[in-house]
C-alpha cells in the first residue's frame, strides 16, 4: 500500500484540483496564510458533498497560539458539531496550556464531541514543551488517529530526525505520524525514505492572479487582494507519484 497523501486547501476550487491530482484526503481550512482556520459551514457542506475522498475540517477559531479560553473552546465544540452535520469525515484539533503542555480537558471535550469521526492532532504538537510526554498522552487517546508535525522544526525536512524517532516509537500502535510543513516534490522522497512515515501532508500552494484590476488603495487586509492562494495540482501529482513508490 502506497503512502497516503493529505493536501490542505482553503478554497472550494482547490478541492477538485487536489482530488484530481491524486490527493487521498483533504484538510479543509480557511486562511492558509494564517496557518489554517476553521472553514465556514457552507464551505464544509459543499466540500463534503463534492468530494470523493475524506474531508477533515480544521477546528481552529483564530490565528495565533493554541491556548484557548473557555468561550473559544465552546466555539470549537460547536464547530465540531457543524463539521459532523456538514458530512465531514473527521476534524483536526489541538489545544495547549500556557506552559506548553496538552490542554487535556479541552482535548477530551473535543474528542467526546467528535465521537465516531476521524481525528488528527495538528501542529500545536510542534509547540509542546515536552513532545515525548505529549506523544504519550496522545497515544493514551486512541480516538486520535495521527499527529501532523514538522518534528518541531521550521519544516519537516529539518525535523526529520525527530520525525523518524516518533514514527519508530508509534510503529506498533494505531497512531500515525504525518510529516508536514514545507513538503514538496523536491524533498518528499528524502522525507519518506528517512522517516519511514506512511502518510505525508502538503499544501502545494501557488497563487492565482485576480481576474479584475486591483485598487491598491483599498486593501481588505494584510494580504494582496490582486492574488489569492490556489492548489498547484502538478505539485500534488508529483508528490503522489513519489508516495506510490513506497
Q: Rounded to the nearest 10 degrees, what angle do helices 188-195 and 160-169 cross at?
A: 40
As for how many domains the chain has, the answer is: 1
Block means of pLDDT (10 residues each) for the chain, 246 residues, are 94 97 98 95 98 98 98 98 98 98 98 98 98 98 98 98 98 97 98 98 84 61 70 98 97
Closest CA to 71 of 62, 63, 81: 62
Whether 160 and 169 have beta carbons less than 8 Å apart is answered as no
C-alpha cell at 180: 508536514
C-alpha cell at 18: 487536489
Q: What is the pLDDT of residue 224?
A: 63
pLDDT tens-digit map of 33-83: 999 999 999 999 999 999 999 999 999 999 999 999 999 999 999 999 999
- 226, exposed or middle or buried, with CB in 10 Å at 0-12, 13-18, 19+? middle
Domain enclosing residue 209, as ranges: 4-243
With a CB cutoff of 8 Å and minimum separation 6, the contacts of 25 are 4, 5, 6, 7, 53, 54, 55, 56
Q: Is the pTM of this model over 0.85?
A: yes
Closest CA to 25 of 4, 39, 2: 4
Q: What is the pLDDT of residue 214?
A: 62
The CATH number for 41's domain is: 3.20.20.380
C-alpha cell at 2: 502506497
Q: What is the pLDDT of residue 48?
A: 98
Closest CA to 197 of 188, 207, 205: 188
How many other CB atoms are there within 10 angstroms of residue 95's CB atom?
Answer: 23
How many whole angstroms separate alpha carbon 148 and alpha carbon 125?
A: 8
Amino acid at each position: 500500500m502506497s503512502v497516503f497523501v493529505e493536501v490542505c486547501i482553503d478554497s472550494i476550487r482547490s478541492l477538485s484540483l487536489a482530488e484530481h491530482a491524486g490527493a487521498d484526503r483533504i484538510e479543509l481550512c480557511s486562511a492558509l496564510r494564517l496557518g489554517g482556520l476553521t472553514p465556514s459551514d457552507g464551505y464544509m457542506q459543499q466540500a463534503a458533498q463534492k468530494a470523493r475522498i475524506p474531508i477533515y475540517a480544521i477546528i481552529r477559531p483564530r490565528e495565533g497560539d493554541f491556548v484557548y479560553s473557555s468561550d473559544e473552546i465552546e466555539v470549537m465544540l460547536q464547530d465540531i458539531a457543524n463539521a459532523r452535520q456538514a458530512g465531514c469525515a473527521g476534524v483536526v484539533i489541538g489545544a495547549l496550556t500556557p506552559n506548553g503542555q496538552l490542554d487535556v480537558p479541552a482535548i477530551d471535550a473535543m474528542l467526546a464531541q467528535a465521537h465516531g469521526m476521524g481525528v488528527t492532532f495538528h501542529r500545536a504538537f510542534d509547540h509542546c514543551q515536552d513532545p515525548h510526554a505529549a506523544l504519550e498522552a496522545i497515544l493514551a487517546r486512541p480516538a486520535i488517529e495521527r499527529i501532523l508535525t514538522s518534528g518541531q522544526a521550521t519544516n519537516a525536512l529539518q525535523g526529520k530526525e525527530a520525525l523518524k524517532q516518533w514514527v519508530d516509537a508509534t510503529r506498533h500502535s494505531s497512531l500515525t505520524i504525518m510529516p508536514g510543513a514545507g513538503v514538496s516534490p523536491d524533498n518528499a522522497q528524502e522525507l519518506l525514505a528517512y522517516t519511514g512515515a506512511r502518510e505525508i501532508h502538503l499544501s502545494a500552494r501557488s497563487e492565482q492572479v485576480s481576474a479584475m484590476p486591483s485598487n491598491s488603495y483599498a486593501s481588505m487586509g494584510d494580504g494582496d487582494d490582486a492574488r489569492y492562494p490556489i492548489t498547484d495540482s502538478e505539485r500534488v501529482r508529483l508528490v503522489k507519484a513519489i508516495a506510490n513508490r513506497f
